[in-house]
Amino acid sequence: MDNSFFNQSLDEDLIRRRIRELESGCVGFYSVGLYPASLAYNCAMQTDGVSLLLAPRPGRQLLGAFPEDSLDGMDETHVASVVKMGTHIKGGTRVSNTLADLIQRCELVVLSSNSNHVEEDLDEACRLREELNREQVVLACLAGSFCHDQIDNESYVLCEKQPNLAFFSGFHRHGALRNPFDSFTANFCHPNALTAMLGARMLDRLSPNIQVSSGVHNVEGQYIKAAKNMSSIFAGFGYTYHSDNPGVLPTLLTLLLDQCLDQAATVSMCRPDRQRLYNRQPFALTELGYGVQRIEAALARDGDMEKVRDHTFTQLTAMVADVRGSMMLPVTGKPTRNFQAGQVLANKMREEQRCPYEMEEFEQWCKSKGLQKGGLEGLKSLMYWPQIVRNYSIPLHDASMVNLLYMSIYGNPATKDIAFSVMTESRELTNYCQESVRPTHSRRYAEALQHLDVPEAMNLLVNAVIADNARRANRDDSFVDDSQSVDNTPAYLKAMNVIETTL
pLDDT 10s digits, 175-233: 667 777 888 899 999 999 999 999 999 999 999 988 999 999 999 999 999 999 999 99
| 3 state SS of 139 | strand
For residue 207, give the DSSP letter: -
Compute CA 208 distance to the chain's CA centroid, rounded to the nearest angstrom.
26
Per-residue confidence (pLDDT) for residue 483, from 0 to 100: 37
Q: Which of 84, 106, 104 is nearest to 40 (CA)?
A: 84
Per-residue confidence (pLDDT) for residue 478, from 0 to 100: 40
Between strands 210-215 and 184-189, the pairing is parallel
For residue 109, the cross-strand partners are 28, 139
Residue 417: Cβ-neighbour burial (10 angstroms; 0-12, 13-18, 19+): middle
Q: What is the pLDDT of residues 22-57, one digit of tens each?
A: 999 999 999 998 888 888 998 999 988 789 999 999
Average pLDDT estimate for 71-88: 90
Q: Which of 320, 496, 338, 337 is nearest to 403 (CA)?
A: 496
Per-residue confidence (pLDDT) for residue 373, from 0 to 100: 87
For the cut 80, the answer to whether the pLDDT of residue 443 exceeds it is no
Per-residue confidence (pLDDT) for residue 159, from 0 to 100: 97
Classify the phi-psi angles of 372: left when phi > 0, otherwise alpha if psi is within -120 to 50, otherwise beta: beta
For residue 177, give the DSSP letter: G
Task: State which amino acid sits at residue 366.
Answer: C
Per-residue confidence (pLDDT) for residue 100, from 0 to 100: 98
CA angle 210, 211, 214 (to 5 degrees): 135
Per-residue confidence (pLDDT) for residue 474, from 0 to 100: 65
Binned at pLDDT 50, 70 and 90, residue 477 comes out as very low
| 3 state SS of 296 | strand
What is the H or E stretch that residue 155 is in?
A: strand 154-156
Q: Which of 187, 210, 175, 227 is nearest to 65 (CA)?
A: 175
Domains of the chain, with CATH numbers?
1-141 (3.40.50)
Which of the residue ranges 4-8, 304-308, 339-343 would you say has the lowest mean pLDDT? 304-308
Please count the residues of the chain: 503
Binned at pLDDT 50, 70 and 90, residue 442 comes out as low
User: Could you tell me if 357 and 411 are in contact, meaning their C-beta atoms sit under 8 angstroms apart?
Assistant: no
What is the H or E stretch that residue 54 is in?
A: strand 52-55
Four-residue CA torsion sign, 104, 214, 254, 219: positive
User: Could you tell me if 230 and 155 are in contact, meaning their C-beta atoms sit under 8 angstroms apart?
Assistant: no
Between strands 108-111 and 93-96, the pairing is unpaired
For residue 116, give the DSSP letter: T
Binned at pLDDT 50, 70 and 90, residue 482 comes out as very low
What is the H or E stretch that residue 250 is in?
A: helix 248-269
Binned at pLDDT 50, 70 and 90, residue 480 comes out as very low
Average pLDDT estimate for 458-465: 83
Within the chain, how many helices (H) and strands (E) appear?
Answer: 23, 13
Binned at pLDDT 50, 70 and 90, residue 487 comes out as low
Distance, in Å, from the CA atom of 161 to the CA atom of 237, rounded to the nearest integer, reads 33
For the cut 90, the answer to whether the pLDDT of residue 387 exceeds it is yes
Distance, in Å, from the CA atom of 21 to the CA atom of 168, rounded to the nearest integer, reads 21
For residue 155, the cross-strand partners are 148
Task: State which amino acid sits at residue 390.
Answer: R
Q: What is the pLDDT of residues 388-433, one digit of tens each?
A: 999 999 999 999 999 999 999 999 999 999 999 999 999 999 999 9
What is the H or E stretch that residue 130 is in?
A: helix 118-131
- φ and ψ at 304, to 5 degrees? -110, 155
Q: What is the pLDDT of residues 112-145, one digit of tens each?
A: 998 889 999 999 999 999 999 999 999 999 999 9
Distance, in Å, from the CA atom of 30 to the CA atom of 14, rounded to the nearest integer, reads 29
| 3 state SS of 430 | helix
For residue 296, the cross-strand partners are 310
Per-residue confidence (pLDDT) for residue 137, from 0 to 100: 98
Task: State which amino acid sits at residue 224.
Answer: I
Per-residue confidence (pLDDT) for residue 440, from 0 to 100: 62
